[in-house]
Homo-oligomer: A and B are copies of this chain.
């Protein structure tokens, strides 16, 4: 059992006047721990250690921030319960946003985080300094053969990671096993021609009782990475795939169904915490999110905060790569290089299909643009 004095914490952004915001902070201390009115909290250990503590409170009307700490041990060493203590019931109350996690080594050491991380993924892709390129196999509805043909073109054009669209699952028109086998083979053949190290990242997001089977099948069939949607399967499911000895592949985390956490201006979870800190804690090696200026509504500032969340020091938890996508076009690459620098994976989906009739050539242009940065 850890020392009674060890605490983990989070920063919450609070709406309202100073008085309202402070009242919200005090409510969080109870709601996230004892869920009792102050009058019936047992004295001693529960009142002195278990109840959340306001460690700091500052800000201005409409935007206060409180750091609230909790006893190490209340998280039970579980990612599920850590999330529960940090934001479980408070997610149901308005005017509170989970902004940042503040986790001491006693918590961080309970998790392995990304098995590869930024450095490991660079080694795997043979991309030691440059930004990396990712393309998406789509649309849903194509056959496994047609998707494999597309994968081949992406790989021949110099894409580093060819991922399944997150909508490809195990549909009758492109069953999982056939698709994964064919796409992995197609990319392997293309690599022999190019001498490059393109990897295939199939979507293994799956029902609870199928998830590990799919991830292990993908590994055996020659996949070089995996795509997972923690919003669909739970963050902790991603952690288990990342740690599985029979998988051992880098993971790209996709934000499907996580949008409701980050879109509320005064509630939910910040993109920094969700797509940065929590994705890392749950074992993602790269974090896909909607880039600013695309067809989603993320701001430049939000994207910059995700980049920070991907690389802020977190003890034993490795830094990972931000992977902006969502309606990106080749013409924006020079601007995006200035914004993101080298430590980034650029994900272009439909843009690679519509830029010109020759998809291999479109990819080469993409690669030249990135390498020129």
Contact = CB atoms under 8 A, between A and B. Distances in A.
A41 B140 CA distance: 10
A360 to B, nearest CB: 16
A206 B84 CA distance: 11
Interface in A315-352: 326, 349-350
Contacts of A207: 78-80, 236, 239-240
Interface residues of A, number: 88
Contacts of A264: 260, 263-264, 267-268
Given A84-B229, A208-B239, 10 more contacts: A36-B353, A40-B354, A46-B140, A50-B141, A74-B141, A80-B229, A91-B263, A92-B262, A207-B240, A263-B264
Question: Which of A39, A236, A353 gathers the greatest number of chain B CB atoms within 10 Å?
Answer: A236
Interface in A217-271: 229, 231-234, 236-237, 239-240, 255-264, 267-269
A81 B256 contact: no
Contacts of A81: 167, 169-171, 205, 232
A155 to B, nearest CB: 20
B208 A83 contact: no
A27 interface: yes
Contacts of A83: 232, 257
Interface of A: 1, 27, 31-37, 39-42, 45-46, 49-50, 71, 73-74, 76-81, 83-85, 87-94, 136, 138-142, 165-167, 169-173, 205-210, 229, 231-234, 236-237, 239-240, 255-264, 267-269, 290, 295-297, 326, 349-350, 353-354
A30 to B, nearest CB: 9
B172 A139 contact: no
A33 B142 contact: no
Contact of A167 (B33, B93, B256): B33
- Could you say how many copies of this chain the assembly holds? 2
A152 to B, nearest CB: 17
A55 B256 CA distance: 24
A205 B36 contact: no
A264 to B, nearest CB: 5
A267 B267 CA distance: 12
A139 B91 contact: no
8 closest Cβ pairs, A-B complex = A91-B259, A92-B259, A234-B234, A34-B139, A88-B256, A50-B141, A46-B141, A260-B268
A50 B138 CA distance: 12
B256 A267 contact: no
A267 B240 CA distance: 31
Nearest to A87: B257
A295 B30 CA distance: 12
A64 to B, nearest CB: 18
27 contacts: A35-B349, A36-B350, A46-B141, A46-B142, A74-B140, A74-B141, A76-B169, A76-B170, A76-B172, A78-B207, A81-B171, A84-B169, A84-B205, A84-B256, A88-B166, A90-B259, A92-B258, A93-B295, A208-B208, A208-B239, A208-B240, A232-B234, A234-B237, A259-B267, A260-B267, A263-B264, A264-B267
A33 B139 contact: yes
A205 B76 CA distance: 12
A144 to B, nearest CB: 14
Contacts of A92: 255, 258-259, 262-263, 290, 296-297, 326
Question: Which of A41, A77, A173 gathers the greatest number of chain B CB atoms within 10 Å?
Answer: A173
